[in-house]
Structure 1
Amino acid sequence: MKLNCVVVDDSTIQRITLAKLVYEHPDLNLVGDFSNASETRNCILNKQVDLLFLDIEMPVQSGFDLLDGLKARPHIIFVSAKSDYALKAFDYAAVDYLHKPLTKDRFNKAVQKALDLYQLKKDGPEDDGEFIFVKSNLKNLKVFISKINWIEAYGDYVKIITEDENHLVLSTMKSFESELPKGRFLRVHKSFIINIGKILRFNSKFAEIGNTKIPLSRNKKEELARALDKPGT
């Protein structure tokens, strides 16, 4: 198994250094290296890219801007000389965050995380349905979409409530919402995203999932009714 990789850094020296590390790794295949977001975006749209080594501070568009413009993202390892962006990187489900100057040992550890994550996703049983990976307690966990009841804002984290257990993930609600399949989940309140298929009943104030009442923001009843394709109660 080799991961197709793209290196993005506006510094020629840093880009060459990182590209060399990718080229020398037996499990990586370098398909491109770029100095800006525009060229990178074109590559991702036209080639299979499994792993992106991404600088953050770049002219015109930052690494975050690049990711915001992608509908489907490869796995991401951020590479930066600053630690300021590490927290925000979690919002993009980053595999790892590498500090410049790079060392081969630290680079290899980050790559191994990506390889493990890719293999987990590849080996997932098809009959269990769709799933996503979340990072909780420093571990990458597979969470099946069908088992999620709702997602709740929890400070700088989101709490994923499933049929079996709960997970606390460092993320914003907006970022996590983008990872969920459209049409199956609805943000009904600034602090709640619900699995539409889990709703037992609802009115103008609450949606009930099991024994829990999830608050609805004003005017969300009609949107929820449309999503369920039936009139509200």
Structure 2
Amino acid sequence: METNKLRTIVVDDSSLQRMAVSKLINDHPDLDLVAEYNNGIEAYKNVEQNQIDLIFLDVEMPILDGFEFIESLSNIPQIILITAKPDYAMKAFEYDVTDYLLKPITKLRFDASVKKALFKTDKAALNRAEEAHIYVNSSLKKVKVVISDIKWIEGLGDYIKLVTVDANILVLSTMKAFIKKLPQDKFLRIHKSYIVNLEKIEKFSSAQVEVGGKQIPLSRYKKLQLEEALLNVEND
């Protein structure tokens, strides 16, 4: 079915290589080609703001190479690296990429890579409820955050603070951008400066909610939406 296809993009500075990979994607029944880009700068915004499941990524590109592009992402999809040089293979798997394709790419090798990506997707889906996580950039390094451990998120100007069960994590992001990374049925923005994990709410009134003993302000026009969201959580 269409909804089960992996949303895929291609990032490669070679127009001929992009065309070749794009055709392979379009011909594959389990992939949906969302976009193609000739550099990582252009691709970054799409990946950060939209759901992308798989990236075919060239290693050697101007301005931002493939590895630098991966490091720039706060939420990393599956990556299949493409290169003409086998020398990058060791480094590639340090980045936990799904596969590593050498140019020129054959259909047989391409299909094998996609099979790996589909397997990883299916395996992740089996454990998503209890193991779902994201990676965030904090203090110049990537930090793995288990989504269910987040209690609330607080807006602090150009930054947000993730308050989790174990730590407070400062991340350079807007509230609007970050909430898109979270499951909509589990998190709600209840105030211009606060997003809460609905499953962590202990009690609430017309003006505030209590999470982990902290009183968090509740915008007046969000009260009805909160009540409906909590009801849905209880019924799941």
- Tell me the equivalent position of 1:12: 15
Structure-2 residue corresponding to 1:157: 159
The residue number in structure 2 matching 1:73 is 53
User: 1:191, CA displacement in angstroms?
Assistant: 1.8
Residue in 2 that maps onto 1:215: 217
Corresponding position of 2:181: 179
- Check the 8 A contact 2:133/2:145 in 1, yes or no: yes
Question: In the superposition, relative to structure 1, how do residues 128 and 217 fare at CA in structure 2: closer, same or farther (>3 Å)?
Answer: closer
Contact in 2 for aligned 1:8/1:34 (Cα 8 Å): no
Contact 2:75-2:135 within 8 A present in 1 as well:
yes
Following TM superposition, by how much is the alpha carbon of 1:164 offset from its aligned partner in structure 2, in angstroms? 1.2
Residue 33 of structure 1 corresponds to which residue in structure 2? 21
Paired with 2:57 and 2:194, the residues of 1 have a C-alpha distance of 29
Structure 2 residue aligned with 1:168? 170
Deviation at 1:53, TM superposition (A): 9.1
- Aligned-residue CA RMSD (Å): 4.8
In the TM superposition, what are the counterparts of 1:1-233 in structure 2 within 5 Å?
A: 7-9=10-12, 11-12=14-15, 15=17, 33-34=21-22, 46-47=29-30, 55-56=38-39, 63=43, 67=47, 71-74=51-54, 81-82=62-63, 90=72, 93=75, 109=91, 112-115=94-97, 126=127, 129-135=130-136, 136-229=138-231
Task: For 2:185 and 2:12, locate their aligned partners in 1 and report how far apart those are by CA, in whole Å.
Answer: 36
Mean Cα displacement is larger for which, 106-115 or 127-136? 106-115
How far is 1:111 from its partner? Answer: 5.7
TM-superposed CA distance for 1:212, in Å, is 1.1
Residue-pair matches, total:
193
- Does the 8 A contact of 1:158 with 1:168 survive in 2? yes
Q: Distance in 1 between matches of 2:128 and 2:21?
A: 37
SS in 2 for 1:200: strand
Q: How far does residue 188 in structure 1 lie from its aligned partner after superposition?
A: 1.0
CA offsets per residue over residues 91-137 of structure 1, 9 Å max, x none? Answer: 75358xxxxxx998789646632439x9xx979x9598132132333
* Gap runs ≥5 in structure 1: 20-31, 96-101
Counterpart for residue 22 of structure 1: none
Q: Deviations over 1:131-164 (max 9, x none)?
A: 2132333443332222210112233332211111
Specify whether residues 47 and 200 from structure 1 end up closer, same or farther in structure 2 by C-alpha distance, changes over 3 A only: same
Structure (1/2) with the larger helix percentage: 2
The CA distance in 1 between the partners of 2:58 and 2:196, in whole Å, is 31
Mapped to 1, the partners of 2:89 and 2:141 lie a distance apart of 18
- CA distance in structure 2 between the partners assigned to 1:69 and 1:134 by the alignment: 14
Q: What is the rounded CA distance, in whole Å, between the counterparts of 2:214 and 2:208 in structure 1?
A: 9
For the residues of structure 1 that align with 2:197 and 2:228, how far apart are their CA atoms? 14
CA contact (8 A) 1:54 1:78 kept: no
Q: Distance in 2 between matches of 1:64 and 1:178?
A: 15
- The alignment's TM-score, normalised by the length of structure 2, stands at 0.57
- Quick one: percent identity of the two aligned structures? 34
5+ long unaligned stretches in structure 2: 1-7, 78-83, 99-116
> CA 1:90 to 1:212, structure 2 compared with 1: closer, same or farther past 3 Å?
farther
